[in-house]
Structure 1
């Protein structure tokens, strides 16, 4: 791929700082809205996906990411859908590894369902990826199939093992689901820590119509933490990964446990993140509809000046926080778009 950072334009524009003084240093990029699973909290079973011509090409994604890197973004996370089902996606990882080599980036990583990790773990490590987040809500094979609708637990576990063998640090992400896995959190944590993996728990987010009632799914992590504290010694940790998780150290397992709490305690005050979809739409907040089209300026010129102007205008509209609520009067999704369309 051609390196087109347009350094002069980027340096003239300066770092990305919103009106609340928060510096944007973390970009999450969805490379596809497609996935080989249909998780009950993320998608409906019968999804309609975007026509492929609407997606940014891998070359365009490289150019877009590079523009953000030149403006002070230090961390890139690739998401989907499932990022590893995007055809030739490793081309993008290889191209962006140049920013790691030149010291412009601290980290390139991804969030994955693990289904393709056995195939790609070694290649990801060769491209400079050092960490991956793997979504895994249960170790019960039948329940895993029910939650993901299409997933194969053994395949995911093989992918996690391949990632570990390739030297990647694995963090397990689990969405806490009432009546599904809430009672399994301790066993999932002990397994993850026993394998040398951190575990982060996530509250259900009210995005998109999945065919499920969010109130029926929702478990406040304040409740989960209180229950765990009756059995384990949890000590506040200073560990940070640049994302929204807040960690505790678990004395009995020797591992770390993270809590991502968009509902019971939002993490907006220190938000350093923006998200770009696979169509080039920039969302300044996961929980708001306001967005900016970056595809048009990206395609309007090979010069990045228009792109930087569009990014600047968008960052100035980054809101103070989101408005997620799940209760008996807010049972419908807060936003109509699915998590898979935004990139978690």
Structure 2
């Protein structure tokens, strides 16, 4: 049941999935994502939670079936649970299939039960290492113990947890096998992600970049990997490890462009809609949202934006200029 997809891009793809960044702020400063001394948006520039609900609802009315709440770190946004509570009405009505969350896990011990009560069933937790010292070096400010307690709380609340691990050359590649065994031993899927060239950081992504084709080849020395048809609506391609029975996902924006079946757009906390993570083209939805209590202007702006959705991104790790492919940080667009 539900509304038929009303947003079709120029390549015939139905846009049924929106990722919504509710804040660009984060309580971590991961070395591949942010600079340590970040300048965040003034709070006055952010959409209110009520405005974010109105925007999400406009997309639901146009056939969106899945909403993922992201940041920055979404659970540091003041009052964020009121947005989840409000959006849950679309789950109750059947207009929406699911609301999911991507989080660093730092606030999960506090919010896991509340998320489950709002109808959230699946969450992604970003976790690149199980070594506490290395975790601190990667996140700069993070506490691994709090994240692991958050994962415990999420599972106790009945949430299905998936781990996202960014593959970092010379940093965590020696941990992938034990991380897989740890995750699968808890009934948790794990997805590996290539570092994405978004935003200026202190280090060089050319030095961080580890192709997942190599990761997968190395894993085959330890596991029998079988291709899986399992999908979550995102870009990951999954295999099953026969020895554990668990799933391993690979998100490969660089070694294998995953754009051909893209059904996603990204909304920032300021009301900017990015039709593609890897392109700068964007549409301002805040102005039409605030121009009228009616959604006529907003709906027209959404429809025009979808007609500009590109076929795919052009991510590369530029080893010549060593500049990011896209100037904005991932925390701006939403993870």
Report if TM-score (shorter chain) is over 0.5: yes
Q: Residue 246 in 1 paired to residue 237 in 2? A: yes
The match for 2:83 among 92, 102, 124 is: 92
Q: Which residue of 2 aligns with 1:306?
A: 297
The 1:246/1:234 distance shift into structure 2, 3 A limit, reads: same
- Once the two structures are superposed, residues 196-225 of structure 1 have per-residue CA deviations (whole angstroms, 9 ceiling, x without a partner) of 100000000000011110010000000000
Q: CA shift at 1:155, angstroms?
A: 0.2
What 5-or-longer segments of structure 1 have no aligned partner?
1-10
Q: Which residue of 2 aligns with 1:15?
A: 6
Q: CA shift at 1:329, angstroms?
A: 2.5
The match for 1:156 among 141, 147, 151 is: 147
Q: CA shift at 1:231, angstroms?
A: 1.8
CA distance in 2, matches of 1:54, 1:169: 34
Q: Which residue of 1 aligns with 2:32?
A: 41
Contact 2:318 2:324 in 1 (8 A): no
Alignment of 1:77-88 (within 5 A): 77-88=68-79
Q: CA shift at 1:149, angstroms?
A: 0.2
Q: TM-score, normalised by structure 1?
A: 0.96
The 1:71/1:212 distance shift into structure 2, 3 A limit, reads: same
Q: Which residue of 2 aligns with 1:28?
A: 19
The match for 1:175 among 163, 166, 169 is: 166
Q: Residue 326 in 1 paired to residue 310 in 2? A: no
Partner SS state of residue 19, structure 1: coil
CA distance in 2, matches of 1:12, 1:172: 31
Contact 1:13 1:308 in 2 (8 A): no
The match for 2:122 among 114, 131, 134 is: 131
Contact 2:265 2:273 in 1 (8 A): yes
Q: Which residue of 2 aligns with 1:263?
A: 254
Q: Residue 279 in 1 paired to residue 270 in 2? A: yes
Q: Which residue of 2 aligns with 1:218?
A: 209
Q: Residue 103 in 1 paired to residue 103 in 2? A: no
The 1:291/1:174 distance shift into structure 2, 3 A limit, reads: same
Q: CA shift at 1:328, angstroms?
A: 2.3
Alignment of 1:282-301 (within 5 A): 282-301=273-292
CA distance in 2, matches of 1:330, 1:72: 42
Q: Which residue of 2 aligns with 1:59?
A: 50
CA distance in 1, matches of 2:284, 2:299: 12
Q: CA shift at 1:14, angstroms?
A: 6.9
Q: CA shift at 1:254, angstroms?
A: 1.2
Q: CA shift at 1:327, angstroms?
A: 4.6
Q: CA shift at 1:52, angstroms?
A: 0.6
What 5-or-longer segments of structure 2 have no aligned partner?
none
Partner SS state of residue 145, structure 2: helix
Q: TM-score, normalised by structure 2?
A: 0.98
CA distance in 2, matches of 1:335, 1:243: 21
Segments of 4+ in structure 1 off by > 3 A? 11-14
| RMSD of aligned Cα (Å) | 1.3
Q: Which residue of 1 aligns with 2:135?
A: 144
CA distance in 1, matches of 2:173, 2:62: 41
Q: Which residue of 2 aligns with 1:201?
A: 192
CA distance in 2, matches of 1:14, 1:197: 31
Q: Which residue of 2 aligns with 1:120?
A: 111
Q: Which residue of 2 aligns with 1:73?
A: 64
CA distance in 2, matches of 1:331, 1:186: 31
Q: CA shift at 1:314, angstroms?
A: 0.4
CA distance in 1, matches of 2:260, 2:191: 20
